[in-house]
Amino acid sequence: MFHLALKGNNKSLNTFDIIYRLYPYRSFLPKESFETVNTLLKSLNISEGGIPAGQEVTNVLSEADSMARVTISSARLGAVDILVPSGGRKYSLDNPMGRFVGTGYQRNLLAEVMQSFAVGDVCLVGPKGCGKSALVLELCNLLGQSAESMVLYQDMTGRDLIQQRTTKLNGDTIWRDSALLRAALSGHVAVLDGIHRIHSSTVSILHRLVHDRELQLYDGRRLVGHERYDNLLAMGATPESLEAKGVLRIHPSFRIVALAEPPILDAGANWLSPEMLSLFIFHEVRNLSQKEEIHIINSLYGEIGPSLEKILNVAQFLRDSKDPIMRSLGGTLSTRQLLRIAHRMSVYPPEKVGIFAKPVEHPLNSAYETIQRTFLAKFLPALPRATLENVLDRFKIHPRLDTEGLMEKSGIEVENGKVKIGKTETEIYRTDAVTKVPDILFYDVPQHVVLMEHLLQDFLIGNHLLLVGNQGVGKNKIADRLLQLMNRPREYIQLHRDTTVQTLTLQPAIKDGIVTYEDSPLVKAVKNGHVLVVDEADKAPTHVTCILKTLVENGEMILSDGRKILPAAMARDQPVSDDVIYAHRDFRMIVLANRPGFPFLGNDFFAALGDLFSCHSVDNPSTESEIFLLQQYGPDVPRNVLDTLVRAFAELRSMADIGQLSYPYSTREVVNIVRHLQKFPQEDMSELIGNVLDFDRYSPEALELVTNVLQKHGLPIEGYARHEMAALRKKREIQLTVQSKSGKDVSGPKHGKIDKDNKPHVGGNIWAGGSGGRDTAGLGGKGGPYRLDSGNPVHQLSDEEKDDIPDEVKKAAREMNRRAFEERLREIKMSTYDHTVYEQFSQPVQKQVQELRVILNALQAKSKERHWQKHQTTGELDDTKLVEGITGERNIYRRRAEQEPEPGQPQEKPKRLKLVVDVSGSMYRFNGYDGRLDREMEAVVLVMEAFEGFAHKVEYDIVGHSGETYFIPFVDPKKPPRDDRVRLETIKMMHAHAQYCWSGDHTLLATNHAVDQLAQEECDEAIVVVLSDANLQRYGISPAKVAQALQKREPKVQAYVIFIGSIGEEAEM
């Protein structure tokens, strides 16, 4: 039906375009399936093209019966008039509501959406920040339509989407219409923001409304389409009689516009199911190009300066890159974020731009500082952070050399009713709510003063703020100090894992049998123009905090009791109503969250909603700033004690940043120690440190790390860790390899005599374990049957002399080698478990095993995090079902439980890891030089121990490669080692292969085989890690071939290689 209506409205529409609007296969099918669809279309003689580029809406005329005649023009086919449902208000292109700066792409897209809007409901699919909401608002403005926005969230039910129960003042229960229902009755546009988030069972309630324009309500009433309603009137019914029977008319101008983000195919989260595809006409919205963004920025904020131009170039480079890390970084610089940066630089420019330049420059708003803040670069993992720094270096974006000097010059002045922070000045706010203005003790550290100037600038231009940092770095104090200086009243709300959409907006209660709703701090701040401080935002689920999106973006929000928050600018156009709250012009939001990722592992608020806020990272103070701060808290504490504490805790923080410690030691702990010393100067320092760091006493790995740092910086630890110090890692000896030429011939391979005293033997052919000799088993010689390391210094013969051996001697040596190798394998399988040997490889990596298991446990806990199970007969009272409780229902409780999979839902596939280890002869030969084989076996033990118990989440296997073959299985993915005995047997097998194999290299073949093998498996994510000590030049392997082997199956298989070598040029390849 849709395709006929679209074709009838515009004869120029191409068949492919009509099909693609109904079946946008590029959005939800994997790339491998594109060709199948394209082949089918070609067989039907359907090809792309048809719609002329450059079409746009050129005229809108209101007509009778809530319709508008819209003229769409294009250079190729001229003008086409279509009839589109409108709101009846007269609007023209010359007088749009609000300021919309369109590009050629957006004007063309708006014309396409207008054609689809004329015949049915529409869904816009595109990444966040690409302009979907702005496009819908402009569509409504052109048609004189009112938009009813609903932000959808994960645990939304069909009842929340249509009607909710509430009570009257006298206690009677009634059903309250949702925004979707009000839009249907009033002829408005229902904007369903985030339809990709809600459950498919909730979406199913829309089917009848979309397809038949009918809906049965929970209160017994029934909605019918306007055509059917008019037929009932023609048959003799009256509006009064139909209303008495509960039959209501859906307004002909009613439309649904859904907004969604593209499905994440790699994660198996494809919300574009066949059910969903039948509901809407789909339009894909892409990110704007750099040229289009420059046009918008020039129109809104004037000429672009050098700093902003560099940022735009970086954004385009990251988006166009084929590197997955760069592409993911590019998503942070969305169009929305770039417009915010442009706005800031237009008001507080880092340099003078044009003849009308502002007299005050703000050098700390440079391109480098702006990008660091936008990306929260301090909290990026090491690899993305290094990638970002390389990109900045490529575009010559560097930090200012005088940053420290600028910080020192920053200060705070309060006089004549004004507050000045650095170079930024504002009037002190006048308010009657003086009791809500924070009043705290705060010492003006230069680093914090600079941060507060940035916050003040964003605050004054109307941005909402997001502060991200570790625990104890002072996020709350900085926010409160800023509000204290500006005399701004504050509302405070702290989120947690049990926070729901309802509790975030309202606080329900039952009084005298009537459900009443008390405004939450959020609603109070919106009403009164206060500043809302949202603390611990990362603790609440992102599907709860996402309802803040429309409030931050457009100033709109629907509350749980049916009331609606609208922006202050709309007050003059809307009738006065108790159901409408107009947001105060002074309302602002400051959100505080812990850093994303390890070790907090909360919900990533920054990734979900970061581009809606002006983001700032809060780090621990620099050494000078922290000493200054501590001197204020402890003026009588000796300076050398302060210096020692600051250095020690700085190192502990760096260890927490890289994951060696789970707790990020912050300035808060140091301040507590100094305040205690100030009040009790005779207190034993070791006992005081123990009070602050006592929780690490019960973690041996953390205890060793912490005590080592404290000892290193000269802090007493006797009372803290007496008799509890862990053994230090064993020390290794470095051996020197001396190359020489013996000038002697070989006779035949043999094991050689065993020297009980293990004295070094060089150059002979008698003793086993010698070096630089011939015939016997040893290292560095020639003609021997296999390698044997006695632990003595190695003397190496040249490759030419080693190769100059008669063929019969080589053959005899190979046969003896195979017999010894087979005997060694039998010994390994029959040997008893030797705990001492295993501990040599297990003990050195226990710290790393612990770190990895901490991360895996946390990830496991996050995937197994409990959710609210509603409609329970026991548990906690569900605040959304209080009315049902009054009416006598029993299933009004909720409780936390693990989320059960939906019926028919495919089982979650584990991630696959393939570790390809090097067991070539050179690994054994040079093990005495740099310990490479021992370290590789330690790494294998690390993997086997750390992944124990996580087989359902991560399946791994370990294979080897050597000079003989590219595939040697050590660990089967279905049978990982369960105990230390099997793990010891595995590393013994690796050692034996390295000792007895022949020279050569199969790194390239092993990489190709591993990548191809994983590509054929069905898994959630596939990762290959290759270890090799290959001398690439020696074996004629080019870096291009290695890169090709690693990237051949991207993005399905992510492959990485780690080369072990001591040749400088090879390492810098």
pLDDT of 121 over the 90 cut: yes
Angle value at C-alpha 756, between 754 and 757, nearest 5 degrees: 125
pLDDT at 528 (0 to 100): 92
Helices (H), 738-792: none
Q: Which of 21-25, 520-524, 809-813 has the lowest mean pLDDT?
A: 809-813
73 shares a domain with 205? yes
- Given 813, 830, 847, the domain boundary residue is 830
97 and 6 belong to one structural domain: yes
Look at 222 and 901; give whichever has higher pLDDT: 222
CA-based max dimension of the chain: 119
**Residues 1060 and 974 both lie in one domain:** yes
Q: Do residues 715 and 753 share a domain?
A: no
- Is residue 653's pLDDT more than 90? no
Amino acid 171: pLDDT: 64
Between 905 and 99, the higher pLDDT residue: 99
Q: pLDDT tens digit string along 763-776?
A: 556 666 555 555 56
Of 34-43, 219-228, 534-543, 836-845, the range with the highest mean pLDDT is: 219-228
Q: Evaluate whether residue 220 is within a structural domain.
A: no
Residue from 616, 599, 605 nearest 475 by CA: 616
Candidate ranges 459-468, 640-649, 995-1004, 1021-1030; pick with highest mean pLDDT: 459-468
605 or 1013, which is more confident: 1013
How many domains does one find in the chain? 6
What percentage of residues in the chain have a pLDDT greater than 90? Answer: 13
Of 656, 688, 721, which closes a domain? 721
| Strand partners for 1055 | 1024
Q: Considering the domain boundaries, does residue 241 fall inside one?
A: no
In this structure, the answer to whether residues 651 and 608 fall within a common structural domain is no
| Same-domain check for residues 414 and 391 | no
Question: Identity (one letter) of the amino acid at 432?
Answer: D
Q: 333 and 277, same structural domain?
A: no
**What pLDDT score was predicted for residue 732?**
35
For 160-164, 983-987, 1031-1035, which range has the lowest pLDDT when averaged over its residues? 1031-1035
pLDDT reading at 198 higher than 80: yes
- Can you tell me the mean pLDDT for 412-427? 89
Residues 775 and 707 reside in one and the same domain? no
What is the domain extent for residue 551?
407-561+575-618
Q: Phi first, then psi: give them for residue 787, nearest 5 degrees.
A: -85, 145
pLDDT at residue 755, rounded to an integer: 64
Token representation of residue 18 = 């009509």
Mean pLDDT on 154-161: 78
In 86-168 the beta strands, taken as DSSP E runs, fall at: 122-125, 147-151, 163-167
Are 539 and 420 members of one domain?
Answer: yes
CA 48 to CA 583: how far, in whole Å? 47
**Alpha-helical segments (H) within 348-460:** 367-375, 382-394, 403-409, 446-460
Q: Write the pLDDT tens digit of every residue in 672-689.
A: 888 888 888 887 777 777
Give 970: exposed, middle or buried? Use CB within 10 Å, 0-12, 13-18, 19+.
buried
Do 13 and 122 reside in the same domain of the chain? yes
Q: Is residue 837, in this structure, part of any structural domain at all?
A: no
Residue 507 included in any domain: yes
Give the pLDDT confidence score for residue 721 in this predicted structure. Answer: 55
Q: Which amino acid is at 234?
A: A
- CATH number of the domain at 1055, please: 3.40.50.410
* Residue 895 within any structural domain of the chain: no
280 with 347, same domain: the answer is no
pLDDT of residue 530: 94
Kindly tell me if the per-residue pLDDT of 919 is higher than 80.
yes
Q: Are residues 366 and 473 in the same domain?
A: no
Q: For 19-50, what is each residue's pLDDT tens digit?
A: 888 888 888 887 777 788 888 888 888 877 65
User: Is residue 55 included in any domain, yes or no?
Assistant: yes
> 516, 485, 520, 481: which is closest to 502 by C-alpha?
520
Closest CA to 467 of 629, 595, 339, 621: 595
What is the C-alpha separation between 491 and 530, in angstroms, rounded?
A: 7
| Prediction pTM value | 0.68
What residue type is assigned to position 395 of the chain? F
Is the link from the previous residue into 681 a cis peptide, with omega within 30 of 0? no
Average pLDDT, whole number, for the chain?
78
What would the pLDDT profile of 378-419 be if each residue is shown by its tens digit? 888 778 888 999 999 999 888 876 666 556 667 888 888 899
Average pLDDT of the residues in 908-932: 83
- The pLDDT assigned to 1068 comes to 46
* Window from 750-764, 767-781, 987-1001 with minimum mean pLDDT: 767-781
Instruction: Give the tens place of pLDDT for each residue, 164-197.
Output: 777 666 667 778 888 889 889 988 999 998 888 8
Q: Would residue 1041 count as lying in a domain?
A: yes
Residue 711 in this model has a pLDDT that exceeds 50: yes
Residue 726 has a pLDDT of 34
Residue 875 falls within a domain, yes or no? no
pLDDT at 806: 65
**H helices present in 713-794, as ranges:** 718-721
